[in-house]
Amino acid sequence: MYKLLLRPVLFCFDPERVHNITFKLIKFLHFIPGIGLLIKSIYLNKNKALEKNILGINFPNPIGLAAGFDKNAKLYKELSNFGFGFIEIGTVTPNAQPGNAKKRVFRITQDSGIINRMGINNEGALSTIERLKKNKSVIIGGNIGKNTTTPNEIALKDYIYNFNELHPYVNYFVINVSCPNVKEFTQLQDKKFLLELATKLEKINASKKKRKPILLKISPDLNNNQLDEIIEIVSISAFDGVVATNTTTLRNNLKTTSSKINAIGNGGLSGKPLKQSSTYVIRYLSEKSNQSFPIIGVGGIHSAEDAIEKLNAGADLIQLYTGFIYEGPILLQKINKLIIENLPKN
């Protein structure tokens, strides 16, 4: 129904506006008694076989909502009714920031992709925390970053601030050092910076009642040497795993005309065109590290088969963003069904 009726209408309008209106609509619908339960009864697949214990967390199923969709933790409860096993909020920065100038999100429908240069617009850590305080049952990943105005040389303080503030309200952390839409942000994937950050965050972790796992979110545009360095960083530091991957700055093998792509301009590309390179990164990290740390696989999952491919490449959990927009919530049902079908029979 989504692809046939709703999507053609939604895709007539600006993607960011559609995103904001859909948020309000889902929120409004949930005020009607019984709607939340109805959505749950349609989409939620409660099956023991889908449960996964990773990072010391018991996930009800391995499908998460990727960062950037519910940046300000405004809709995590309602979105979880569509069957997500966990929701990653953020990227959150210490202070609210507007992000880049609009228009900054573009669909490239011929390729089932999105190009965005949002620039980590968000309402800031403290207002996000207020909403997370109401959370009772949803598994939350806290994706954190630095403010655009904070120079890289002092970026540590932003991550430390976010980590401290969000610590009681999230189940795991993701350190975003791979956003292509903020100047020099991806330079934070630097070994010295990351090792120092890991040490500082772990010290805070040790002072808290419960330790929270920390993952690094990396770019699909890293070369093999850089990926080797990521493996080394994770194996010698307090980082627990990797989220692979963020969006790509590359524009390879697209069906969309180059004049349209050029007119869109800078931004991170997500969706189907990202599938291969993100799977490559997942497989490389998994094989080269001998599966020594958990990987959350994200990038171009638009079908149940794509999800299985990510899991087979070495992902322990997966996340959706662009595929959820193009395929709708039925994608989660399809993935869970195929996962169950693929389980070894005994």
Ligand X SMILES: Cc1cc2nc3c(=O)[nH]c(=O)nc-3n(C[C@H](O)[C@H](O)[C@H](O)COP(=O)(O)O)c2cc1C
Point out which residues bind ligand X (CB under 6 A).
66-68, 71, 90-91, 105, 114, 116, 118, 120, 143, 176, 179, 217, 246-247, 270-271, 274, 298-301, 320-323
**What's the min distance (Å) between Cβ of 313 and ligand X?**
15
**What's the min distance (Å) between Cβ of 270 and ligand X?**
3
Are 119 and 147 spatial neighbours (Cβ–Cβ below 8 Å)? Answer: no
Are 170 and 140 spatial neighbours (Cβ–Cβ below 8 Å)? Answer: yes
3-state SS, residue 69: coil
Question: Max Cα separation, the chain?
Answer: 56
Are 323 and 69 spatial neighbours (Cβ–Cβ below 8 Å)? Answer: no
- Output 68 or 206, the one with its CB closest to ligand X: 68
For residue 34, give every residue at least 6 positions away whose Cβ sits within 8 Å of its Cβ, in sequence order, or none. none
**What's the min distance (Å) between Cβ of 319 and ligand X?**
7
- Output 66 or 231, the one with its CB closest to ligand X: 66
Calculate ∠ Cα 339-341-346, nearest 5°: 110
**What's the min distance (Å) between Cβ of 105 and ligand X?**
5
- Output 35 or 338, the one with its CB closest to ligand X: 338
Tokens of 64: 């998460």
Tokens of 250: 């590359």
**What's the min distance (Å) between Cβ of 118 and ligand X?**
5
Of 44, 1, 39, 47, nearest in space to 339 by CA:
47
Of 304, 310, 242, 241, nearest in space to 274 by CA:
310
| Shortest-Cβ-distance residue relative to ligand X | 68
**What's the min distance (Å) between Cβ of 248 and ligand X?**
9
**What's the min distance (Å) between Cβ of 23 and ligand X?**
13
- Output 66 or 139, the one with its CB closest to ligand X: 66
- Output 91 or 289, the one with its CB closest to ligand X: 91
- Output 36 or 127, the one with its CB closest to ligand X: 127
Report which DSSP code applies to 329.
T
Rounded Cα distance, 304 and 207, in Å: 41
- Output 53 or 149, the one with its CB closest to ligand X: 149
- Output 299 or 328, the one with its CB closest to ligand X: 299
| Strand arrangement, sheet containing 105-108 | 105-108, 113-116, 268-271
**What's the min distance (Å) between Cβ of 59 and ligand X?**
17
Rounded Cα distance, 164 and 147, in Å: 16
Rounded Cα distance, 42 and 31, in Å: 18
